[in-house]
Amino acid sequence: MRITIPTAILERIEEQAAETYPEECCGVLIGSDNESVRKVMHLSETKNVHDENRTRRFMIGPDDFIKAEKFAREKKAEIIGFYHSHPDNAAVPSEHDRDFAWPWYLYLIASVLNGKPSTMQAWKLRDDRKRFDEIQITIS
Ligand SMILES: [Zn+2]
C-alpha cells in the first residue's frame, strides 16, 4: 500500500499547518482507494475543536465530518484518511493518535518546526491496533 498526493494538496497542508501553528491543524483526505494505492484527490479542511490542548491534540467536530462526507459524495470519491500537524514534533503518531485512530484509514502527519513546515509521513494502524506502519508517500 502506498499513498499518492498531488503537490498542490501537499503544499496546502503545509500552509494550513503553518497558519495554525503552534496549534495542530487537521482535515480529511478525500480520494480513491484500491488494493495497493490510496490516491488523495481533495482535502476537506476542518477546525481543530479539541477543548484542552490544541498544541498537542486535535479533534474533528461532527459538523466538519459530515461536511467532508458530503463533499466526498459530491466528488464521487470517499474519505480515505485524515491529516493533522505536529507542531515542534516529529511526524510520528503519538499514543493519543493511536487511541483515536481507526485501522482502515491513512493518517498523514505534517511536522512543523518553529512555524515552518518540515517532514510529512503517512501511517496506517494495524488491525490489532497495536502499532502503526509507515506508508510510502508518492507525490503526483
Ligand atoms: Zn498527532
Output the CA 34–ligand 1 centroid distance in Å. 26
How many Cα atoms within 13 Å fall on the side-chain side of residue 140?
12
pLDDT in tens, 64-115: 999 999 999 999 999 999 999 999 999 999 999 999 999 999 999 999 999 9
DSSP 22-57: TSPPEEEEEEEE-SSEEEEEEEEEE-B--SS-TTT-
46 C-alpha to ligand 1 centroid (Å): 15
Reading the block at residue 129, the C-alpha cell is 491496533
Instruction: Tell me how far the alpha carbon of residue 70 lies from the centroid of ligand 1, in angstroms.
Output: 25
Check if the beta carbon of residue 120 is closer than 8 Å to that of residue 97. no
Q: What is the Å distance from ligand 1's center to 39 Cα? A: 22
Domains of the chain: 2-139 (3.40.140.10)
C-alpha 97 – ligand 1 centre gap (Å): 5
**DSSP secondary structure of 119-132:** EEEEEEE-TTSS-E
| 36 CA → ligand 1 middle, Å | 25
Assess whether pLDDT exceeds 90 at residue 124.
Answer: yes
Q: Quote the CA–CA distance of 110 and 17 in Å, as a whole number.
A: 7
Prediction pTM value: 0.96
